[in-house]
Amino acid sequence: MTPQPTKSDILADLEAALTNIVADLREERETRGCTPTFCAGVAQLAGLVSRMTSMKEAFREWDPGLTGSQPLPGGEGD
C-alpha cells in the first residue's frame, strides 16, 4: 500500500517542479533570446517560486501538519 502524500510532500514537489520550469525557461532565454513578454513571464514565474518558498516556511509555523506528519484527507478510511 502506497502511503498518502502529506501537505509538505505536495508543496515540496510543486516547488521543485516550478524551480525546474524556471531554470528551463532561463536556459531557453539564454540560448534563443527572448521577447519582452517572454522575459517578463519568466521573471513573474521566478517571483512566484520565491514567494511560494517564503509562504511554505510561514505556513509550516502556522500549521504543524506541513511538517509531514499528517496525511491529506481522502486516503484510506476517509
Residue 35 included in any domain: yes
Q: How many domains in the chain? A: 1
pLDDT digit string, tens, across residues 20-71: 888 888 888 888 877 888 888 888 888 888 887 787 777 767 666 655 555 5
78 found inside a domain = no
**65 vs 70: CA distance, rounded Å:** 5
Please indicate, yes or no, if residue 74 is contained in any of the structural domains: no
2 domain-assigned: no
Residue carrying the nine cell digits 518558498? 53
In a domain, 76, yes or no: no
The percent of the chain in helix, strand and coil, each rounded to the nearest 5, is 75, 5, 25
* 77 inside domain: no
Decide if 56 contacts 15 (C-beta within 8 A).
Answer: yes
* Grid cell listed for 54: 517564503
Please indicate, yes or no, if residue 13 is contained in any of the structural domains. yes
> At 13, which amino acid appears?
D
Range of the domain at 26: 7-67
